[in-house]
Amino acid sequence: MEHIKSHFLAKIVELLIVPGRLVQIDLFLKEYYITISIIIHLAINIMLKSFKHNLNHVSVPPFIYGTAWKKEKTQMLTLQALENGYLGIDTANQLKHYFEEGVGLGIQQFLKNTGKSRGDLFLQTKFTPASSQDHNKPYNETDSYSNQVRQSFLSSLDHLQTDYIDSYILHGPTYYSKVVQDDLDIWKAMEDLYYEGKVRLLGVSNVDLEQLKVLYNAAVIKPSLVQNRCFASSYWDFSIRSFCKKHNILYQGFSLLTANQSYLLTNKMHEIATQYKKSIPQIIFRFALQIGIVPLTGTSNQQHMKEDLDLDSFELSSDVVKLIEEINKS
């Protein structure tokens, strides 16, 4: 990377001392930006290649950037995440917590700046039932669930400026403790989008084991992904992960850091981080990869974006993995 930087500076000096070269400088800067972006993405692809997943002929990145709670910074942070090597972006058509349109603007800016194509990215969004929306619902709540899902989905396509979604997620069951017919009607509407080729994978979020079993048994198109808040206190959602592994469902974990502060800010975790010369977030994300979790990060810090992807230079021993898996015992 230092060699590239030196070449870049030398080229700028060369262009500056020749009159009438401002246009050439502009073209060179754009070319340099594209080159660096491509190098970053190639490096990330190579580094985390062993943790990539293939579901139904869809390549799922090993790490996904989450865009919740970014508000007016959503476009900028989405662009920064893509520039720093993230290939997967997670959002939702839920203005209460997400700004899906901002995600689309960030993606389009990235594609324009780099010359990369939509197919290079993994885009995941969600249908959110009315009970988890505020007044800004992306559908008519009095319509059938079939129409609600379709209205929300078409709105998502418009926001993200795409004609298909890689992964479409049911944001959560209608009720906290069970799956009811309303949820199955919503899932049926999502299946229709899958049959039409507008969605490549279906998934569900914020479920417990019984809810997942009911949905799985009722579904014609089985969920390919489960996305849950992942607590160390439940052995990192062990029961759900076990079900997922048995049924070839990919587990995505969010809030790996923020939901587990009392377990992570301990002397033992600091000892592990010191041993590997990595930060605690890097240790946890590497741990997640090694036990089959696709982690999400929503950091707004560019340095952390880079560090969170720098996970290929070390591997946790089986003893350390077991210790972190059972960290709630200590």
| Phi-psi category of residue 102: left, alpha or beta, with phi > 0 → left and psi -120 to 50 → alpha | alpha
- Tokens at 139, concatenated: 């559908």
- Tokens at 119, concatenated: 């197919």
pLDDT value at residue 33: 57
State percent of the chain over pLDDT 90: 82
Q: If you write DSSP's letter for every residue of 51-96 in order, what string do you get? A: G-EEETTEEE-SSEEE-TT-GGGHHHHHHHHHHTT--EEE--S-TT
Q: How far is residue 161's CA from residue 268's CA, in Å, rounded to a whole number?
A: 46
Q: How far is residue 272's CA from residue 324's CA, in Å, rounded to a whole number?
A: 10
> What is the average per-residue pLDDT within 306-311?
95
pLDDT at 112 > cutoff 80: yes
Can you give the C-alpha Rg of the chain in angstroms? Answer: 21
pLDDT at 277 > cutoff 70: yes
Q: Which tops the pLDDT comparison, 193 or 18?
A: 193
Note the pLDDT tens digit of each residue in 180-235.
999 999 999 999 999 999 999 999 999 999 999 999 999 999 999 999 999 999 99
Note the pLDDT tens digit of each residue in 113-137.
999 999 999 999 999 999 999 999 9
The candidate with the shortest Cα–Cα distance to 279, out of 255, 249, 314, is 314
pLDDT range class, residue 316, cuts 50, 70, 90: very high
> What is the average per-residue pLDDT within 47-64?
88
Residue 59: enclosing H or E segment and its boundaries? strand 58-60
Q: Average model confidence (pLDDT) for the chain?
A: 91
Q: How far is residue 319's CA from residue 330's CA, in Å, rounded to a whole number?
A: 15
Q: Which residues pair with 254 in a beta bridge?
A: 229
Q: Which tops the pLDDT comparison, 35 or 226?
A: 226
pLDDT at 2 > cutoff 90: no
Note the pLDDT tens digit of each residue in 196-205.
999 999 999 9
What is the number of other CB atoms lying within 10 angstroms of the CB of residue 61? 21
DSSP single-letter state for residue 259: G
Q: How far is residue 288's CA from residue 102's CA, in Å, rounded to a whole number?
A: 29
Q: If you write DSSP's letter for every residue of 194-232 in order, what string do you get? A: HHTTSEEEEEEES--HHHHHHHHHH-SS--SEEEEE--G
- CA distance readout (Å), 177 to 128, 212, 234, 238: 17, 11, 17, 19
Q: How far is residue 283's CA from residue 116's CA, in Å, rounded to a whole number?
A: 31
pLDDT value at residue 161: 99
pLDDT at 7 > cutoff 70: no
Q: How far is residue 253's CA from residue 63's CA, in Å, rounded to a whole number?
A: 10
pLDDT at 294 > cutoff 80: yes
Burial of 135 (0-12, 13-18, 19+ CB in 10 A): exposed
Note the pLDDT tens digit of each residue in 236-264.
999 999 999 999 999 999 999 999 999 99
Would you state the torsion angle of the CA atoms of residues 263, 265, 270, 272, taken in this order, to the nearest 10 degrees?
A: 20
pLDDT value at residue 1: 47
pLDDT value at residue 5: 47
pLDDT value at residue 48: 73
Q: Which tops the pLDDT comparison, 1 or 276?
A: 276
Identity of the residue numbered 96: K
pLDDT at 44 > cutoff 80: no
- Tokens at 247, concatenated: 């049924």
pLDDT value at residue 259: 97
pLDDT value at residue 49: 73
pLDDT at 309 > cutoff 90: yes
